[in-house]
Homo-oligomer: A and B are copies of this chain.
Amino acid sequence: MYAQRREKIYNWMEEEGIALAIFEDHECSRDQSVRYLSGQPGDALLLLSSSRKALLIPWDINMAALYAAVDDIIPYNKFDLDPYLAACGAAAYFKVPYGGKIEIPPATPYPAFLKYVNQLSDYDVLCRTDGVKTIVDAARAVKDQHEIDIYRSCSEKTNEIIGLLEQNVADNTLKTETDVALFIEAECRKRSCDGTGFTTLAAGPSRSFGIHCFPSFTGAPFAAKGLSILDFGIVFQGYTSDVTLTFVRAPSKTQEKMLSLIEAAFNRAFSIVAEAFAPENPSPALPARDLALAVDVLFKKHSVFMPHGLGHGIGLEAHEAPYLRRTQTNTYVLERGNIFTIEPGLYDSRHGGCRLENDIFLGEQGAEILTRSKIVRL
């Protein structure tokens, strides 16, 4: 599977005349492309050569021996954990010719870029946003059958947990933000998940005004009078779900209005997607940005504003392409195989916040809502 994924990249490299492409997953700069292309879960350099060979340079060789499906492995310590030495070493290992094109990650900081250029002075160093990383990201945004199967299971487990949460919050078994968050940690692992996809955000009414509450969860009451937000994802075989429920108790009129607006926004966005991706439509052409703008229009009519994007792709990362953003630079056109969230939210410093987030799959059979988050009225 990893070899198959790499084939696409090798083909592109051949067309572009790239001799060596470097991917880096590092504490300061995570890139799940390394995992996507090699199976290694993290902390490694992955180097793809025009000779169609993959070399992994991992921090932890015991982990690599267990997880990595590559042609060769060299411990990072051989290069003093220095990415520049490792890049030079890899260029020599692959016998990259003088003047050969070596592409480094577009996340490379400018000072590090200068070091690469200096150390790789015999080669042509490329660092660009429209290079190999774009190709990998585009591939990752369109899930293959293996990934779709994982998402079927991941969504099912997510929905089981959503059901239990509704039940246990309603009967007061889960009382505090911490109760709710730790319940998810325990339940996802009972279902063979790796863990949560990001720190669970559990905000009772006193803290739901924050888009991403801080701290993420506390001993404060959850689902007390007003609006409570619960945003979580669980990771199954590397892939995360991402859902948000709002729990409501004795809402005020303003809160009711906010709730009905986010429900309307969710339905509006999904109906646009569903129409465009109806199975009988052979070539849907829906820009991701249009969805965000449609929701902006709806909210504007009611004089409210959503301070964040409408949604984002999910996969090996909790946030990846495609992004449903209103920004002009967003040119992504949605396609079958995309899995992304739709998550309208409204926040008020006095009345608190609410958000409704579900995961959407654009399949051959049309657009499908994979998860079962909702407004839970207590």
Contact = CB atoms under 8 A, between A and B. Distances in A.
Interface of A: 27-29, 41-43, 59-63, 65, 67, 75, 77, 80-82, 106-111, 113, 127-129, 178, 181-182, 185-186, 189-190, 194-195, 199, 209-212, 214-219, 235, 305, 307-308, 319, 327-329, 347, 349
A65 B349 contact: yes
A75 B211 CA distance: 13
Given A28-B107, A80-B327, 7 more contacts: A27-B319, A29-B29, A62-B210, A63-B210, A81-B327, A108-B110, A178-B185
Contacts of A59: 211, 307-308
A62 B128 CA distance: 36
A107 B28 CA distance: 9
Instruction: Quickly give the copy total for this chain.
Output: 2
Given A63-B214, A215-B195, A109 B106 contact: yes
A60 B127 contact: no
Contact of A349 (B62, B106, B127): B62
A194 B61 CA distance: 34
B129 A111 contact: yes
Nearest to A41: B214
Contacts of A41: 214
6 contacts: A77-B305, A77-B307, A178-B185, A178-B189, A189-B219, A195-B215
B209 A195 contact: no
A327 B111 CA distance: 18
Contacts of A329: 82
A194 B214 CA distance: 8
B217 A189 contact: yes
Nearest to A213: B63
